[in-house]
Copies of this chain bind each other. A is one copy, B any other.
Amino acid sequence: MVNHNGPIGLLDSGVGGLTVAREIFNYLPEEEIVYYGDTLHLPYGPRLLSEVREFVINIIDYFIIEKKVKAVVLACNTATSAALKMVQKRYQIPIFGMIDAATRRARQITKNKKIGVIGTEGTINSQAYQRSLMADDHSLEVFSAACPEFVELVEAGKFTGQEVENYAHKYLDGLIDVEVDVLILGCTHFPYLIPVLQKVMGEQVQLVNPAVEMAREVRSTLEERKMLKKAKNQQNKISGQQFLVSDISRISQQFLEEGSKFLGLPNLEFKEKNIFV
């Protein structure tokens, strides 16, 4: 029997998934979350699929046994590509991934049927978004671009400014030329850059933030299954108990300062909990 007052577990290889946590707070303000950033094994992108799957299973087991979660969000594109289908079969509780809600939304809102996808090299080369987009609709034109430097800029706390704009032009000018009217931000780090991305792409291009689509999906699924939290009177409180990482030495102070402002979580702090020992 699932505890409907249990938290929602979010997992990522690091801090990128915090943009997903923010949307969960926005769309499900009564719910509690527990966040696990597997910084010990960061980044997941270059690892073998089998390794990523093992890490994900370890974290979900920890979430279920120790934290009594009622649902899990894979707040990480690599973990979603590598493990979502497998863990959805393995566990009884609802488990959500980054990709399909975003591609459904993109298909709904495109008018000219030209959709852009940006992500890390690993996510773009996995073809996960492209495949999901084209699965049902062969009339779409999908254009993708790998934007590796965006992750480093975000991790260094650089969300705006000339350097970010220069990289944005370098990566996105080709997508502007082909006139995509929707751009999917296929990396959980990228929402920090939305102001610059929107400026460079132009106002006529709709940005799809998969974290938002995922949060909507979590809300509607938990509603359908009558799994939303009963006690609605308390606003979500942030504490270090909820934000866990496997290696705290890999969280940069610079990111923590900029990131906590951006996320609207002024008291954001992490606690180390290595479940892999």
A171 to B121 CA separation, bound complex (whole angstroms): 9
B-chain residues with CB within 8 Å of residue A171 when the two chains form the complex: 125
Verify B139–A127 contact, CB threshold 8 A. no
CB atoms of A125 and B46 under 8 A apart: no
**A225 interfacial contact with B, CB 8 Å:** no
Q: A130 near B: Cβ within 8 Å?
A: yes
Minimum Cβ distance to chain B for residue A133 (Å):
10
Pair A46/B170 contact, Cβ less than 8 Å: yes
The verdict on A19 contacting chain B, using a C-beta distance below 8 Å, is no
- Pick out which of these stretches binds chain B: A140-148, A154-162, A186-194, A216-224: A140-148
Does A124 sit within 8 A of B, measured CB to CB? yes
Task: Pick the interface stretch among A9-17, A51-59, A172-180, A236-244.
Answer: A172-180
A232 within 8 A of B: no
> Which chain B residue has the least Cβ–Cβ distance from A171?
B125
Residue A253 CB within 8 A of the other chain: no
Residue among A125, A126, A130, A175 with max Cβ neighbours from chain B (10 Å): A125
Residues of B within 8 A of A144 (CB): 124, 144
Q: Point out the residue from B138, B143, B146 that lies within 8 Å of A141, measured CB to CB.
A: B138
Task: Look across to chain B and name the residue whose beta carbon is closest to the beta carbon of A177.
Answer: B127
Complex partner residue of A178 from B127, B141, B146, B178, CB under 8 angstroms? B127
Q: A121-B146, A146-B121, A146-B146 are in contact. Are A174 and B141 (CB under 8 A)?
A: no
Query: A143 to B170, Cβ gap below 8 A?
Result: no
A141 neighbours in B (Cβ, 8 Å)? 134, 138
Which residues of B lie under 8 Å from residue A148 when comparing CB positions? 121
Does A131 count as interface, using CB distance less than 8 angstroms?
Answer: yes
From residue 100 to 135 of chain A, which have CB atoms closer than 8 A to chain B?
A: 121, 124-128, 130-131, 134
Contact residues, A39-65 vs B (CB, 8 A): 46
Known: A46-B170, A178-B131. A124 touches B145 (CB 8 A): yes
Are A146 and B124 touching (Cβ within 8 A)? Answer: yes
Binding site for B on A (CB under 8 A): 46, 121, 124-128, 130-131, 134, 138-139, 141-146, 148, 170-175, 177-178
Can you spell out 26 A-B residue pairs with CB atoms less than 8 angstroms apart? Answer: A121-B146, A121-B148, A124-B145, A124-B146, A125-B145, A125-B171, A125-B172, A125-B173, A125-B175, A126-B173, A126-B174, A126-B177, A127-B143, A127-B145, A127-B175, A127-B177, A130-B143, A131-B143, A131-B177, A131-B178, A134-B141, A138-B138, A138-B139, A138-B141, A144-B144, A146-B146
6 more contacts with CB within 8 A, not counting A125-B170, A126-B177, A130-B178, are A46-B170, A124-B144, A125-B173, A126-B173, A126-B174, A131-B178
